[in-house]
Chains A and B, each alone.
Chain A
Amino acid sequence: MPANLFDSYPLRPARVHEVCGPGATSFAAILAAQGTGPVLWVRPGWSHEALNPQGLARLFDPARLLIAEAPSPTDALAVSEEALRDGAVPLVVTEITRPLDLRQGRRLQLAAKTGGSTGLCLIPEGMGSNAAETRWHAAPRLAAEEEADSTALRWEIIKNKSGTLGAWDVLWTDTAHRLHVVSPVAERPGSARASG
């Protein structure tokens, strides 16, 4: 039985989730588009890559975005823990550059439970923490001819503490700001990771 994407998406609030893969940034941005209020994006300050608000504007309003540039990985974790515990920001996105151990993951999870905010960690592949509620793999996919005007993505849930796994081909329509599920993909764990 194919699992339904909207059972586990938008992500469960007051938990910390993880996403990896080349489409992780757009996964976070589309998640931000589902909610309201400010979004805190914790980034490593030493990174040369920049978020481009002109590109983000197709997904959600960049005026809602607050970027915290942390000088070290420890600071990045401390900032997201603080923000999650405070709860003033409904969504905290953290770019992780170092593998999280169980203690760090659990601290984030507890902070999110206290504050009620959703946490999302963008992790490099294979660097997740066991404390995460769900882990996703997001990758862009080649759009078919008839869907060429929207953003074609493939999302796969590869870890879920309270639900089933699944993989979906989704479409983001820029003009309508809506997410469509094209077709649930037959369950082949790890297939998306192999191609990304």
Chain B
Amino acid sequence: MWFPRLQSDRVLRARPVEAPFALVLKQANAERLYCLNARAEAEGLHRGMALADARIYCPALLTAPADPGRDARFLAALRRWATRYCPWVGAEGDDGLVLDVTGATHLHGGEAAMLADMRARAARAGLALRLGLADSRGGAWALARFGEGVAPPGDPLAALAPLPVAALRLEPEVVTALQRLGLRTIGDLAARPRPPLTRRFGPDLLARLDQALGHLPEPVAPDAEPPHYGIRLSLPEPIGLTEDVMAGTARLLERLCAQLLAREAGARVLELSLRRVDGGAARVELRLASPMREADRILPLFRRGVEAAEAGFGIDQLRLEALVVEDLPVQQLGGPVAARGAAPEGPALDDLVTRIGTRIGLENIRRLLPADSHIPERAFSVAPAAFSAPASGGWPAPRPRPLRLFPPEPIAARGPRPPRRFRWRALQLATARATGPERIAPEWWLPDEAWRHGTRDYWQIETREGRRLWLFHTPQAPGWFVHGEFP
């Protein structure tokens, strides 16, 4: 199956236009036509043409930007649709599908009926479709793109012989070279003795020819269906009580968790959609602190969201989907290893983090990790607890570091020695002991607005009043600042 205008058909399905239409993709700094509709092709435009040239030929041309990502998703959807004809469907390039219909045609009333059905359905969907049916994958490819038709079984050459050599999936240079030699059709090529051709073009050309004629096998590789973790429960009568919804959720969770266990995966983000009778839907999203697949642990975590959901006139369908799934291998519980390495992070803590995370956001529960820097503010990093492991290493600090750090607060003082008396946060403080200086130079390879005053000389100040502060002096732009407080 070849969809010659897949990309533009996809856009035009949503917004049909009668005029010449083209999708434009920016390639190598120039806007080029990416895919056109039939009207535009009739105007003499072709793929790869610069947009400016195309506008000269056809001023009425309508354009829209191309989106290869969505095209790929559309093709994937078509691939799923094509499994209605046979189970063995693979994608072919970015605008074709290849179906291995061996043994499946009689289910649709024979080859001709099946092809007619494919054409009718594609036409109804607004897709241009060209079909080729042959004994081999290469033959079908050639027929779909260059001839459209059915190669009689057992004798593919009869159908393929009049097709040009380009139908053999060859490099453009090889095609040009063959045409220069006068070998324009597959029939010409097949009639030639093989050794000189191999010497001239290498083994690839004849391998392609053999694939097209079915002498060399070429399997159809079906894409694996991505695992889908979604489960639905439809109810004959609408429900509204929290307990009822939780009971329904429990049933869904049991099945979903069985699926997850079978694939050794754990859910990270779950979404419960509650479809109401009036057509609206309430969504409850649950983000877990660690991948999980234990139904009885997940269920209580849903309660808060379910209680907040609006039931309206009643809920008649529940749908539970695991939106983000991570690998979660089966772990051995108990035994000497688990007992010895008693991790402080048990499942109870994960549940707590999840529950708190539903309230304040999972990113707002953090832990501190050591970082490689001599700048005090950058000697640690803050990471979300749910997505990081606790630090195992130590916290090397060459000198005592304060317990709390705040943005530097200027104080009135001058000179390179620490002041005897100073005011800070409305406190009158007198220096009793000063230890320092500890000179810290900025990391010049990282621009940092806070360090624009240059080098800092840090002093630990013990005041007569008891407070122990971390002061610094910036010799390059004289000034004194309080940066932190010791215990």
- The finding on whether chains A and B are genuine partners in a shared complex, rather than unrelated, reads yes
Contacts of A45 in B (CB 8 A): 360, 364
Beyond A25-B487, A52-B405, A55-B400, 17 additional contacts (C-beta under 8 Å) are A48-B407, A50-B377, A51-B368, A52-B380, A52-B484, A54-B397, A65-B368, A68-B364, A69-B364, A75-B359, A88-B349, A140-B466, A140-B468, A142-B465, A143-B462, A148-B433, A151-B487
The stretch of A77-85, A96-104, A124-132 that contacts the partner chain: A77-85
With an 8 A cutoff between CB atoms, is B26 at the interface?
A: no
With an 8 A cutoff between CB atoms, is B395 at the interface?
A: yes
With an 8 A cutoff between CB atoms, is B402 at the interface?
A: yes
Q: Do A66 and B365 have beta carbons less than 8 Å apart?
A: yes
Q: Indicate the member of A38, A48, A52, A89 with the most B CB atoms within 10 Å.
A: A52
Q: Do A54 and B348 have beta carbons less than 8 Å apart?
A: no
CA distance A52 to B401 in the complex (A): 8
Q: Do B370 and A49 have beta carbons less than 8 Å apart?
A: no
Contacts A/B (CB < 8 Å), 25 sampled: A22-B467, A25-B403, A29-B487, A50-B377, A50-B404, A50-B405, A54-B401, A55-B397, A55-B484, A55-B486, A59-B487, A62-B380, A63-B391, A65-B367, A65-B368, A66-B353, A68-B365, A70-B360, A75-B360, A79-B356, A86-B348, A89-B349, A142-B462, A142-B466, A196-B466
Shortest distance from the beta carbon of B179 to any chain A beta carbon, whole Å: 70
CA distance A196 to B463 in the complex (A): 12
Q: Do A51 and B403 have beta carbons less than 8 Å apart?
A: yes
Q: Do A71 and B364 have beta carbons less than 8 Å apart?
A: yes
CA distance A23 to B402 in the complex (A): 12
With an 8 A cutoff between CB atoms, is B352 at the interface?
A: yes
B402 contact from A55, A88, A143, Cβ within 8 A: A55
In the complex, chain A residues 25-41 whose Cβ is within 8 Å of any chain B Cβ: 25-26, 29, 36-38
Shortest distance from the beta carbon of A161 to any chain B beta carbon, whole Å: 27
Contacts of A87 in B (CB 8 A): 348
In the complex, chain B residues 44-64 whose Cβ is within 8 Å of any chain A Cβ: none
Interface size on A, residues (CB 8 A): 52
Contacts of A52 in B (CB 8 A): 376, 380, 401-405, 484
Shortest distance from the beta carbon of B320 to any chain A beta carbon, whole Å: 24
Contacts of A48 in B (CB 8 A): 406-407
Complex: chain A residue closest to B357, CB-CB: A68
With an 8 A cutoff between CB atoms, is B464 at the interface?
A: yes
CA distance A79 to B358 in the complex (A): 10
Given known A-B contacts A75-B359, A140-B486, A58 and B390 have beta carbons under 8 A apart = no
Q: Do A55 and B401 have beta carbons less than 8 Å apart?
A: yes
Q: Do B366 and A67 have beta carbons less than 8 Å apart?
A: yes
In the complex, chain B residues 321-349 whose Cβ is within 8 Å of any chain A Cβ: 344-346, 348-349
Q: How many A-B residue pairs have CB under 8 A?
A: 151
Contacts of B351 in A (CB 8 A): 86, 88
With an 8 A cutoff between CB atoms, is A178 at the interface?
A: no
In the complex, chain A residues 8-25 whose Cβ is within 8 Å of any chain B Cβ: 22-23, 25
With an 8 A cutoff between CB atoms, is A168 at the interface?
A: no
Q: Do B365 and A153 have beta carbons less than 8 Å apart?
A: no
Q: Do A83 and B352 have beta carbons less than 8 Å apart?
A: yes
Q: Do A55 and B349 have beta carbons less than 8 Å apart?
A: no
Contacts of B344 in A (CB 8 A): 36-38, 64
Q: Do A66 and B366 have beta carbons less than 8 Å apart?
A: yes
B370 contact from A53, A66, A67, A79, Cβ within 8 A: A53
Complex: chain B residue closest to A83, CB-CB: B352
With an 8 A cutoff between CB atoms, is A110 at the interface?
A: no
Complex: chain B residue closest to A154, CB-CB: B466
Main secondary structure of the interface of A (DSSP, over half): mixed
With an 8 A cutoff between CB atoms, is A185 at the interface?
A: no
Contacts of A78 in B (CB 8 A): 359
Contacts of B433 in A (CB 8 A): 148
Q: Indicate the member of B346, B352, B367 with the most A CB atoms within 10 Å.
A: B352
Q: Do B346 and A88 have beta carbons less than 8 Å apart?
A: yes
Contacts of B370 in A (CB 8 A): 53
Contacts of A89 in B (CB 8 A): 349, 352
Q: Do A29 and B403 have beta carbons less than 8 Å apart?
A: yes
With an 8 A cutoff between CB atoms, is A139 at the interface?
A: yes
With an 8 A cutoff between CB atoms, is B32 at the interface?
A: no
With an 8 A cutoff between CB atoms, is B385 at the interface?
A: yes
CA distance A196 to B366 in the complex (A): 31
Q: Do B403 and A55 have beta carbons less than 8 Å apart?
A: yes
Contacts of A153 in B (CB 8 A): 487
CA distance A140 to B463 in the complex (A): 10
Q: Do B395 and A53 have beta carbons less than 8 Å apart?
A: yes
Contacts of A70 in B (CB 8 A): 360, 364
Contacts of B395 in A (CB 8 A): 53-54, 57, 62
With an 8 A cutoff between CB atoms, is B394 at the interface?
A: yes
CA distance A141 to B385 in the complex (A): 35
Shortest distance from the beta carbon of A41 to any chain B beta carbon, whole Å: 10
Contacts of A37 in B (CB 8 A): 344
A-B pairs, 4 with minimum CB distance: A26-B487, A57-B395, A54-B401, A88-B348
Q: Do A140 and B353 have beta carbons less than 8 Å apart?
A: no
A88 contact from B352, B485, B487, Cβ within 8 A: B352
Q: Do A54 and B376 have beta carbons less than 8 Å apart?
A: yes
Given known A-B contacts A52-B380, A55-B487, A67-B367, A79 and B466 have beta carbons under 8 A apart = no
With an 8 A cutoff between CB atoms, is B207 at the interface?
A: no
Shortest distance from the beta carbon of B373 to any chain A beta carbon, whole Å: 11
Contacts of A136 in B (CB 8 A): none
With an 8 A cutoff between CB atoms, is B355 at the interface?
A: yes
